[in-house]
Structure 1
């Protein structure tokens, strides 16, 4: 007689960061509620002035939780059009890492990322860019820049540098 073993699959956990690069002060509670609802906990962020946009504020929150939490956070924040933000979710064995970027002018984009945080562009997207560009090198560069979220990076870069000394909050009760 043999013993039967039951394998229990535990949900994969991951970690990430939420950067609210710029938001009006009046949005604080709404954004805390939106992220808190996405992670299943009441939250209060540490807000700092955003020097890149007078009158705006910024916050940085590190989180850990089940795979998919980053998507839930990005979806919750995407409803607030006038907010500049980024959300990352680290890769795990079996799931790609992701980075979502949002600006009021461009809306939201999602990019796959590797373990070091570099954007990974899928082969089919690269082949499509090559095919669409033909022999036009400038068109190819523009398509590859778009595939990597270049417009979002350029728009958010000033806001990222302004937050280099921001306090960090860690969420551990996610999920």
Structure 2
């Protein structure tokens, strides 16, 4: 299903544009879109695919400086880190090759969140959706 994008100025990087879209598709579509977008130069993006019955969701992010990030998202919206990736991070930390906290931050996408945060805020009339935690 084609998605029409409305492009507006991106205040976080003057001279650039931003767009936001919501869409529906079969599971795995976010990965295909991510793969296509990574071929563009100087682009930053994040794509979230919600979990559906029997299928975990996914989060994909890309920045020119960090490259690609992908994570599985559970039904509750949490990033799910596979056991083998946790074991690998712990082993590398035990060998002194990485700092465990920094490696865990990468597994959770923290560097991508920090880099993308200024771009998430809509400006000049662009749409923005604020998410609130239920307490």
Deviation readout 1:31-80 (Å, 9 max, x if unpaired): xxxxxxxxx53x43111111111011111100101111111111111110
- After TM superposition, the score normalised by the length of structure 1 is 0.65
Name the SS of the counterpart of 1:100 in structure 2.
Answer: strand
What is the CA-CA distance between 1:135 and the residue it aligns to?
Answer: 8.3
In terms of fraction of residues, the more strand-rich structure is 1
Q: Which residue of 1 aligns with 2:71?
A: 111
Higher relative contact order (CA 8 A, sep 6+): 1
* Cα distance between partner residues in 2 of 1:60 and 1:92: 22
Aligned residues: 126
1:154 aligns with 2:114: yes
Name the SS of the counterpart of 1:132 in structure 2.
Answer: helix
CA RMSD of aligned residues (A): 2.0
Could you tell me which runs of 5 or more consecutive residues in structure 2 were left unpaired when the two chains were aligned.
Answer: 129-135
Deviation readout 1:61-102 (Å, 9 max, x if unpaired): 001011111111111111102111011111122222101101
Q: 1:95 aligns with which of 51, 55, 58?
A: 55
Structure 1 or 2, whichever has the larger Rg, is 1
In terms of fraction of residues, the more helix-rich structure is 1
Counterpart contact for 1:52–1:162, Cα < 8 Å: no
- After TM superposition, the score normalised by the length of structure 2 is 0.82
Name the SS of the counterpart of 1:155 in structure 2.
Answer: helix
Could you tell me which runs of 5 or more consecutive residues in structure 1 were left unpaired when the two chains were aligned.
Answer: 1-39, 169-175
Q: Which residue of 1 aligns with 2:103?
A: 143
Q: Which residue of 1 aligns with 2:8?
A: 48
Deviation readout 1:102-126 (Å, 9 max, x if unpaired): 1111121111112343221112211
